């Protein structure tokens, strides 16, 4: 670059600048990869979405959040699988679980657990008033066969029920959906995406292993008094991120103070800068 400047060689200056930018991006990518060193960081993830109080508004917001993470995964070339879905009465979803598979998915997404807040002019309000909605996102690692999670049969309550369908010929006439409750921890998982009860039960057991693994990780974090834990202070009164669409345009992470003035791009899956800022915060 110095040589190009001294010789006033504009094309060489441009080439040098491009190479420096590529080097900077490569270093940042390696730095982020260094943060993903925990045993579970390289695992796939389950993402659970739950609408908060507020009926249709929050249910629509929960579906918008699900779409955001699915778009992020799709843009990255990761695979996404819908595990379960409980649709809203008018629009959106009351709850849903998806699975995202790819390299270091849990490592990238683990800090996304928490309450997400939306402020907008409601498309469901005929008076066009501003509404605030809340929805939760919970991230759990997909436990692989190398991690041994002991589940005692007597600790489980297994319920079967009829999957909800689109109507007509798509209505499921058998009790193929499965819900498993782990009595000691009160953890509940459910799956309805397969027509086979056996396959739904298998998926539920895998999800339960993931939840129990995450439960154990949280216990260890509390025991170690790790105040930097990404989930140590999450509750319904604590929002990790706000998405404001009116009266101004802003998405702001309340933990890292990182913000963007382009919520449309964020809701379309471009969340890498938020993920990276969270990783820097956790590892600071």
Smallest CA-to-CA distance from 275 within 14, 32, 1, 31 is with 32
Higher pLDDT, 243 or 35: 243
Higher pLDDT, 226 or 88: 88
One domain for residues 51 and 81: yes
One domain for residues 9 and 59: no
Domain containing residue 241: 38-282
One domain for residues 21 and 101: no
Say how far apart CA 85 and CA 63 lie, in whole Å.
10
Mean pLDDT value across residues 173-185 = 86
One domain for residues 127 and 167: yes
One domain for residues 15 and 65: no
> Hey, which of 16-20, 207-211, 259-263 has the most confident mean pLDDT?
259-263
One domain for residues 78 and 196: yes
Say how far apart CA 129 and CA 135 lie, in whole Å.
19
One domain for residues 129 and 195: yes
pLDDT-above-90 percentage for the chain: 60
Does residue 137 have a pLDDT over 80? Answer: yes
One domain for residues 81 and 21: no
One domain for residues 229 and 175: yes
* Average pLDDT in the chain: 87
Mean pLDDT value across residues 234-238 = 51
Q: Mean pLDDT check: name the lowest of 54-58, 193-197, 206-210.
A: 193-197
Spatial strand order of the sheet with 250-253 comes to 79-87, 93-101, 45-51, 130-141, 114-121, 239-244, 250-253, 259-260
Q: What's the structural domain count of the chain?
A: 2
Q: How confident is the model at residue 221 (pLDDT cuts 50, 70, 90)?
A: low
One domain for residues 12 and 90: no
Q: State the CATH number of the domain containing residue 276.
A: 3.30.70.1660
Which residues, in sequence order, are bridge partners of residue 136?
Answer: 50, 115
One domain for residues 174 and 218: yes
Does residue 283 have a pLDDT over 90? Answer: no
- pTM for the model stands at 0.75
Cis check: omega of the bond before 18, within 30 degrees of 0: no
One domain for residues 171 and 249: yes
pLDDT, one tens digit per residue, over 33-83 is 888 988 889 999 999 999 998 889 999 999 999 999 999 999 999 999 999
């Amino acid at each position: 670059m110095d040589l190009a400047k001294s010789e006033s060689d504009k094309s060489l200056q441009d080439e040098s600048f491009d190479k420096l930018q590529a080097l900077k991006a490569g270093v940042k990518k390696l730095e982020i990869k260094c943060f993903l060193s925990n045993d579970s960081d390289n695992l796939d993830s389950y993402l659970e979405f739950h609408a908060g109080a507020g009926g249709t508004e929050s249910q629509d917001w929960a579906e918008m959040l699900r779409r955001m993470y699915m778009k992020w995964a799709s843009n990255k070339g990761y695979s996404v699988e819908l595990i379960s879905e409980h649709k809203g009465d008018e629009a959106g979803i009351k709850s849903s679980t998806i699975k995202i598979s790819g390299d270091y998915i849990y490592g990238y997404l683990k800090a996304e657990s928490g309450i997400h807040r939306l402020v907008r002019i409601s498309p469901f309000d005929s008076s066009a008033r501003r509404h605030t909605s809340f929805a939760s996102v919970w991230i759990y690692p997909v436990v692989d066969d190398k991690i041994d999670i002991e589940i005692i049969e007597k600790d489980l309550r297994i319920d079967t029920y009829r999957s909800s369908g689109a109507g007509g010929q798509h209505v499921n006439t058998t009790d193929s959906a499965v819900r498993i409750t782990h009595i000691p921890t009160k953890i509940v998982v459910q799956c309805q995406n397969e027509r086979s009860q056996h396959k739904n039960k298998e998926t539920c057991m895998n999800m339960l292993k993931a939840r129990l693994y995450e439960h154990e990780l949280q216990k260890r974090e509390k025991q170690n008094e790790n105040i930097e834990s990404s989930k140590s202070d999450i509750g319904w009164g604590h929002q990790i991120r706000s998405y404001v669409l009116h009266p101004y345009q802003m998405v702001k992470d309340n933990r890292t103070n990182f913000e963007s003035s382009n919520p449309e791009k964020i809701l379309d899956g471009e969340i890498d800068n938020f993920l990276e800022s969270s990783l820097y915060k956790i590892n600071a």
